[in-house]
């Protein structure tokens, strides 16, 4: 068996039983990266020497009987997470040579749990996009079709897992940047509730919606990682103090649920995507779940709200990158970042704040209330994750492409909900199609439960791209 095809559960078992070593596992992934990454561009930085040393240390810990949840498992990390003494660029030339003096809380918790760090993955610069087209280091290519995008902004993270260059990856989502790449790359992509996972040390895009989350091969892998990442962080005042559940156990409850579906989430969506999601709903119905029609705001309204709020927060967050304390000067900002900063500054300016930013916040509250009303009737809400399968390289040039691509994921992100992408089949061209399961705030156990039930009945996650 090729070691790089293992799941977290399988790899942990083999490591525990001394069937393989962490060093052997890590070498398999590093060889895989060396072989195929030149045609994918998943990584901005590969930390080969550090990874090999971490693997050796993990083997010593395993031999000594240490029991850490992710000990010896090779991960990739999106390049907007600060990693101490390891180059962190956010895929922007502004930070081309930035070496952080500290690590993000997510990174620290992963390290404490025993991971082997393979490297930092490519992304849309500053997370500004839904394709990786805006990366200053060139786009990542989709392992299922290298002439297409993998989604974004966590496109490199998703491609690294889909191509078996990493056992699992950590991404971040502002309005679809975990679920979207997971959909286009055929992965499980978990977006936790806002505040469930700390944002400390993440290079901020929109601070009121940023949510770190895992990209994995299976639901159980995602649950295992969430147990490590979740929890209160004294460095992040927005992180929740609610207890962290044992998600890898609660997901096995097998609860029968009422599933809400809203017609507006299917309107204008590619017919093959609609068909695959409907097939998944029928399968869930056959297993005893109830599908119920509900009313939700048309997701198109979220585009307006998200565009104003996100760009306003971008203009504030990017103001710190002035080239004085660290990084290169502002002439290194690419066009997409400049556009977003200009529009955000305009929306926050005197005379326009009430007309745009304040009004957008009011509509955001209405969206939150709309979801709360829906969740009074149903346990989860299901719909397509993205309107189409992966698009070709060069088709993401529209300045509003990201907002249009994320139309179905933006409402739940604005409302701070949890959600998960599940692979539900393939298009006629062999491209992955994803379905999102949305839950109420801090309802991770519920969406993982339904996702796990669905995964047990299908084998889409087992299929691999031909590389």
- Assigned domain for 150 exists: yes
Q: What CATH number should be reported for the domain holding residue 36?
A: 3.90.1300.10
Alpha carbons 115 and 398: distance in angstroms, whole number: 38
Closest CA to 188 of 153, 223, 156: 223
For residue 436, the SS3 value is strand
Rounded to the nearest 5°, which phi and psi values hold at 380? -140, 165
- Assigned domain for 284 exists: yes
Closest CA to 437 of 197, 130, 182, 153: 182
Alpha carbons 77 and 154: distance in angstroms, whole number: 10
pLDDT at 207: 97
Strands across the sheet with 43-46, in order? 43-46, 116-121, 74-78, 168-173, 211-216, 188-191, 418-426, 432-439, 380-384, 258-261, 290-293
Residue 307 in tokens: 């565009």
H/E stretch holding 340: helix 335-348
Query: Structural domain tally of the chain?
Result: 1
- Assigned domain for 347 exists: yes
pLDDT at 265: 98
Exposure string over 97-120, b if 16+ CB within 10 A, otherwise e: ebebeebbbbbbbbbebbbbbbbb
- Assigned domain for 467 exists: no
- Assigned domain for 410 exists: yes
Alpha carbons 191 and 422: distance in angstroms, whole number: 12
Q: Which residues are catalytic?
A: 78, 153, 177
pLDDT at 301: 94
pLDDT at 1: 66
- Assigned domain for 49 exists: yes
Closest CA to 101 of 112, 89, 85, 119: 85
Per-residue pLDDT of the chain (467 residues; tens, 9 = 90+): 689 999 999 999 999 999 999 999 999 999 999 999 999 999 999 999 999 999 999 999 999 999 999 999 999 999 999 999 999 999 999 999 999 999 999 999 999 999 999 999 999 999 999 999 999 999 999 999 999 999 999 999 999 999 999 999 999 999 999 999 999 999 999 999 999 999 999 999 999 999 999 999 999 999 999 999 999 999 999 999 999 999 999 999 999 999 999 999 999 999 999 999 999 999 999 999 999 999 999 999 999 999 999 999 999 999 999 999 999 999 999 999 999 999 999 999 988 999 999 999 999 999 999 999 999 999 999 999 999 999 999 998 887 888 889 999 999 999 999 999 999 999 999 999 999 999 999 999 999 999 999 999 999 999 999 99
Can you give the length of the chain in residues?
467
CA dihedral 328, 236, 308, 180 (to 10 degrees): 90
Domain containing residue 395: 3-462
Region of 297 on the Ramachandran plot (φ > 0 left; ψ -120 to 50 alpha; else beta): beta
- Assigned domain for 102 exists: yes
């Amino acid at each position: 068996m090729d070691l790089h095809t293992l799941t977290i559960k399988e790899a942990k078992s083999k490591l525990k039983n001394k069937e393989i070593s962490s060093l052997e596992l890590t070498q398999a992934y590093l060889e895989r990266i060396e072989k195929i990454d030149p045609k994918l561009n998943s990584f901005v930085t590969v930390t080969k020497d550090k990874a090999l040393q971490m693997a050796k240390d993990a083997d010593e810990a395993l031999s000594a009987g240490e029991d850490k949840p992710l000990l010896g498992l090779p991960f990739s990390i999106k390049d907007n997470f600060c990693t101490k003494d390891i180059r962190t660029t956010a895929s922007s030339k502004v930070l081309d040579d930035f070496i952080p003096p500290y690590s993000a809380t997510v990174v620290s918790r992963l390290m404490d749990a025993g991971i082997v760090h393979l490297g930092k993955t490519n992304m849309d610069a500053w997370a500004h996009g839904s394709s990786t087209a805006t990366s200053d280091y060139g786009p990542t290519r989709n392992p299922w079709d290298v002439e297409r995008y993998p989604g974004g902004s966590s496109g490199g993270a998703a491609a690294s897992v889909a191509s078996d260059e990493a056992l699992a990856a950590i991404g971040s989502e502002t309005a679809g940047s975990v679920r979207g790449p997971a959909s286009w790359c055929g992965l499980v992509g978990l977006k936790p509730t806002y505040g469930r996972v700390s944002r400390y040390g993440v290079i901020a895009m929109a601070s009121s919606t940023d949510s770190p989350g895992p990209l994995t091969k299976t639901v159980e892998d995602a649950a295992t990682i969430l147990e490590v990442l979740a929890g209160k962080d004294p460095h992040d005042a927005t992180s929740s103090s609610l207890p962290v559940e044992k998600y890898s156990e609660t997901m096995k409850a097998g609860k029968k649920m009422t599933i809400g579906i809203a017609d507006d989430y299917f309107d204008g969506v590619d017919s093959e995507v609609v068909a695959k999601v409907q097939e998944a709903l029928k399968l869930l119905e056959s297993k005893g779940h109830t599908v119920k029609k509900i009313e939700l705001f048309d997701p198109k309204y979220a585009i307006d709200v998200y565009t104003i709020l996100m760009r306003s927060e971008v203009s504030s967050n990017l103001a710190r990158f002035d080239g004085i304390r660290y990084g290169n000067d502002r002439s290194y900002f690419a066009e997409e970042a400049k556009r977003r900063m200009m529009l955000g500054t305009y929306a926050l300016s005197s005379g326009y704040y009430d007309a745009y930013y304040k009004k957008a916040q009011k509509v955001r509250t209405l969206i939150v209330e709309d979801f709360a009303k829906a969740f009074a009737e149903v346990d989860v809400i299901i719909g397509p994750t993205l309107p189409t399968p992966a698009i070709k390289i060069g088709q993401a040039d529209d300045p509003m492409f990201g907002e249009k691509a994320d139309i179905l994921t933006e409402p739940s992100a604005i409302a701070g909900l949890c959600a998960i992408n599940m692979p539900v089949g393939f298009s006629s061209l062999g491209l992955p199609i994803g379905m999102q399961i949305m839950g109420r705030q801090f309802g991770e156990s519920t969406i993982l439960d339904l996702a796990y039930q669905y995964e047990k009945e299908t084998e889409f996650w087992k299929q691999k791209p031909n590389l």
